[in-house]
Amino acid sequence: ASIFKIRLTGDGAVGPASPLVTGLESNGFFELSADGNRLTYAREPYFSNLWLVDISRGSAPGQMTTRQLTQGTSQVERPSISRNGKAILFSSGYETSSNLFVLPMTGGLPRQLTRLNAFTASGVWSPDDTQVAFVSTEGGSRRVWITDASGTSLRPVSTGEVGDST
């Protein structure tokens, strides 16, 4: 599969499509930064890692860069870029045991945000980037949880069963 960028004008006209990534094996979870210059996705043949496509210099060949941000054999998925564009929140682990991690947009070592013995995924940033909401099976049922961006003050906020993409 491939990802293409298509420019739209103010009057709705469509410009030519330019390929951003080709030969893509993805789980279908993508996140675009608010300024439209960065795209994160999980690439997975049998395990997955987080990749970054940077089109801040343009999307023509030679201008954009693609870079692998994580390495390993865990399932890395569901990236969420902070509103300020400085960090990426993602889940890593396996179907029965995964946690949330935060990675600087520039790359480096991921910081583990949650330490739950459960399936934990679908993290999203609050509008001011100070909190994260996510879904976890901690305690038996799949519920919505909230923590602050440092990983403290972890608490469930729903009492009923929810889907993992809620």
State pLDDT tens for residues 58-99: 877 778 888 888 877 677 788 999 999 999 999 988 778 899
Distance between CA 51 and CA 160 in Å, rounded?
Answer: 34
H or E stretch at 101: strand 97-104
Better-predicted residue by pLDDT, 110 or 61: 110
pTM of the model: 0.70
Q: Rounded to the nearest 5 degrees, what angle is found at the Cα of 91, between the Cα atoms of 20 and 163?
A: 105
Q: Rounded to the nearest 5 degrees, what angle is found at the Cα of 132, between the Cα atoms of 129 and 137?
A: 170
